[in-house]
Structure 1
Amino acid sequence: MIWEKHAAELADRVAGRGSRWHEPVARTPRHVFVPAWWEPEDGQWALRRPTSDLGWYTAAYGDRSLITRVGPLHADAADHHDRPMGRPTSSATLPSLTVQMLRHARINDGDTLLDVGTGSGYGTALACRRLGDTAVTSVDVDLYLVDAARQRLASIGLAPRLAAVDATGPLPATEGQFDRIMATVSVRSVPSAWLTALRVGGRLVTTIAGTSLILTAERQEDGGAVGRIAWDRAGFMQARTGDDYPPEVIEVLAAAHYAEGDEVTTSPYPVLDVGQAWDVDSMLGVLAPGVEHSYEETGDRRTAVLAHADGSWARATGTGTEPPIVHQAGPRRLWSILDEIRSHWLQHGELPVRGARVRILPDGRTRLSRGGWHKQL
């Protein structure tokens, strides 16, 4: 089959021939899991549903994420006239990142795996190829995604256990059922139900919401877990508890582009595109969770805006590397928090979040620490 050539080439790129994940990638027809997806086009979301195998395979076997749901609208159920508004709410994760997370889980032969965030079902399929489908359970909050994944997995001969549940609440699992838990959705702190479902000595890997921080930890006898934040990076959508994410801070972010604010100062550092500064963004996500940001350039003039649902906002405008003028308002001074992060980086050469120790209490409260720095999530 033509797809097998594409899948083998993808396996060479994202796993390497000596990897135990090479064969699962090479044997899994990713195109089956993404018959349609969304792509940005002229500031809107446009549907892609290929009419030829060439276009389909080129996208499906490229190492990139494919957005399969925007707001409440699945690409599967859309037509070419639809232009959904809002944020992506599900995707087929780029294969290299899926393999990266599976490697962080340190999966061994005979392990049982809880896959949190079924999504398209492609990552579930890779786990099934590696462990056997009876060893894999996958959950997602979206009933449609679960049903679609079940059908697509069955079409390639796989039948793992699937369930539509809010993964931040109770799970369809017994105590100590799983050797490994891998989440391809992010959480602010680890749900206590994950710890309960994990056997003593079992390992979990997830990401912290609003950051690129990969959290790895092993379950302890006391019901908690200990581990570290990995040195490499990953980013996933935050775990949803309903059909869509809560409304964004659109109004606050929009007003911040022109409002005068309560305080006008000068920053010692040039305007920063926070979204492209992953470590700074992750530190900001830990210290001030829920901050949204935007950035634009007009010639040498650069403007960055931060905003939060509590009404806090900041706008920094500057030319080139000159110190920018900063307008701020609300209960917190967001740009001041950002400047403190940048000062720490200059003084210490790095930020403490990456490589931090992780301590998770049995109730899920998660604490990060490194040197004299610590933060409870």
Structure 2
Amino acid sequence: MDTWQHHAERLASHVTDPDSRWLDPIARVARHELVPRWWERDKTGGWQLRDGATDHEAWMRAAYADRSLIIRVGSLHADDAKPGDQPHGMPTSSATLPSLLVRMLRHGRLGPGLSFLDLGTGAGGLTAYACHRLGDQHVTSVDVDPYLTNAAGARLATMGLHPEFVTADVTDHLPGTYERIVSTVGLPTGRGLAPVVGALMPGGRIATTLGRTCLIITGWKHGDGDVIGQVERDMAGFMLTRSGDDFPPALAELSALARDAGGEETTTGGYPVVDLDNAWELRSMLEVTTPGVELAYEQRDRTRTAYMVHPDGSWARASADGTNPPEVHQGGPQRLWTALERIRHRLNAEGSLPLLGARVRITPDGVCHLSRGNWHATMGVR
């Protein structure tokens, strides 16, 4: 039987370059020990529990593939699940695919002797990589879920790694200050981002995504408390940061209305129905221009349908056969599909959106100011 080191070395060579300073840390981490059990989708779309101890070969394949492994659905962690359990809700924690962790660590510009915060412990993979690179005495990892911080702490300890673990809701309070912060959860702008900005030392650097976007924001903190940086020409999809056991409940009644109601306005759309969750740049721009929209998409045979709902009561439904122009129903104070079509028109007219490469200024209150040429936008103002 191949040893785990063989698999880890192969993974490291796959997700880094031969001269990368992250090659050795990845090769030295027993990723399978961080993910002894995980969830996978079954053929019906439900969740199936996978137990590494009962299928060693499948465990090695999953743990040392460049893929994310879901470790928590709703409030049920795979470690606590029984065979046959069917959790409900969204994935709420994962072991992020290693290549993405490497990209985020590179964006963070880590260096010897720098105090480092891993924001979003998850299974502990990024924490482990950082410990091998920086020394565990320089590494802190934080998560809102005490089970995750405790489990990761115990598993890293068996590897001889002893970073500090903190359980905290970072959108409310983040103890300590750090020279480098890398977040693998999508942080909300405004008051939810302010504690993280406050925990970054002057001269320090942050790399994070913003909630409901795939934008990777990097920046350096200046003496006046502002973080100045840019939207990287790189994208990543992370879960929203949580404040408790699960994400806030979806707008169920409004979502049901969007599925069936005729709406206050029925039109023919100008562009094909798109799955916005997989159209990252469109999704990100929508959050910039119309923050707070929740999405759903389904395809049955050739019929593609997208749903959009907003906490202010707005909703939209667009449905079409294949790529034909969709029939669009909308209601509420905002016209959500119209807002999306304005973005798509700009993309078609200009060939790109102004997001990637934009300059960013994050003020101490967590408000993000974006600019590129004559384009300006603000996120997080209440």
Partner residue, 1:359:
361
Partner residue, 1:267:
269
Q: TM-score, with normalisation over the residues of structure 1?
A: 0.96
Distance in 1 (CA, whole Å) between partners of 2:292 and 2:365 is 22
Residue pair 2:29, 2:129 contacting (<8 A) in 1 also = yes
Distance in 2 (CA, whole Å) between partners of 1:310 and 1:39 is 34
Shift in Å, 1:376: 1.4
- The number of aligned residues is 374
Distance in 1 (CA, whole Å) between partners of 2:173 and 2:319 is 46
Residue pair 1:32, 1:152 contacting (<8 A) in 2 also = yes
Q: TM-score, with normalisation over the residues of structure 2?
A: 0.95
Residue pair 2:361, 2:368 contacting (<8 A) in 1 also = yes
Distance in 2 (CA, whole Å) between partners of 1:53 and 1:321 is 44
Shift in Å, 1:325: 1.5
Partner residue, 2:152:
149
Residue pair 1:224, 1:364 contacting (<8 A) in 2 also = no
Q: What fraction of aligned residue pairs are identical, expressed as a percent?
A: 52
Shift in Å, 1:344: 0.8
Distance in 1 (CA, whole Å) between partners of 2:353 and 2:265 is 27
Please give the per-residue CA displacement for 1:51-74, whole angstroms capped at 9, x wherever unaligned.
132111110001111111111111
Distance in 2 (CA, whole Å) between partners of 1:246 and 1:198 is 27
Residue pair 1:128, 1:158 contacting (<8 A) in 2 also = yes
Shift in Å, 1:317: 1.8
Distance in 2 (CA, whole Å) between partners of 1:286 and 1:77 is 38
Please give the per-residue CA displacement for 1:123-142, whole angstroms capped at 9, x wherever unaligned.
10000000000000111110
**Aligned match for 1:116, one of 111, 115, 119:** 119
Distance in 2 (CA, whole Å) between partners of 1:339 and 1:206 is 28
Distance in 1 (CA, whole Å) between partners of 2:248 and 2:223 is 37
Shift in Å, 1:323: 2.1
1:80 aligns with 2:83: yes
**Aligned match for 2:47, one of 22, 45, 60:** 45
For residue 257 of structure 1, give the secondary structure of its aligned residue in structure 2.
helix
RMSD: 1.4
Residue pair 1:265, 1:325 contacting (<8 A) in 2 also = yes
Residue pair 1:307, 1:313 contacting (<8 A) in 2 also = yes
Superposition map of 1:205-220 within 5 A? 205-220=207-222
1:137 aligns with 2:140: yes
Shift in Å, 1:308: 2.1
Partner residue, 1:71:
74
Distance 1:335 1:157, change over 3 A: same
Residue pair 1:141, 1:166 contacting (<8 A) in 2 also = yes
Superposition map of 1:169-188 within 5 A? 169-173=172-176, 177-188=177-188
Distance 1:275 1:191, change over 3 A: closer
Superposition map of 1:159-238 within 5 A? 159-173=162-176, 177-189=177-189, 191-238=193-240
Please give the per-residue CA displacement for 1:236-269, whole angstroms capped at 9, x wherever unaligned.
1111111211101233223312210110111222
Distance 1:303 1:196, change over 3 A: closer
Please give the per-residue CA displacement for 1:302-331, whole angstroms capped at 9, x wherever unaligned.
222212233211111223333221110111
Residue pair 1:212, 1:282 contacting (<8 A) in 2 also = yes
Distance in 2 (CA, whole Å) between partners of 1:155 and 1:319 is 55
**Aligned match for 2:131, one of 128, 131, 140:** 128
Residue pair 1:248, 1:309 contacting (<8 A) in 2 also = no
Ranges in structure 1 where 5+ consecutive residues have no aligned partner: none
Partner residue, 1:28:
29
Ranges in structure 2 where 5+ consecutive residues have no aligned partner: none
Residue pair 1:105, 1:182 contacting (<8 A) in 2 also = yes
Distance in 2 (CA, whole Å) between partners of 1:298 and 1:122 is 37
Partner residue, 1:3:
4
Distance in 2 (CA, whole Å) between partners of 1:300 and 1:239 is 35
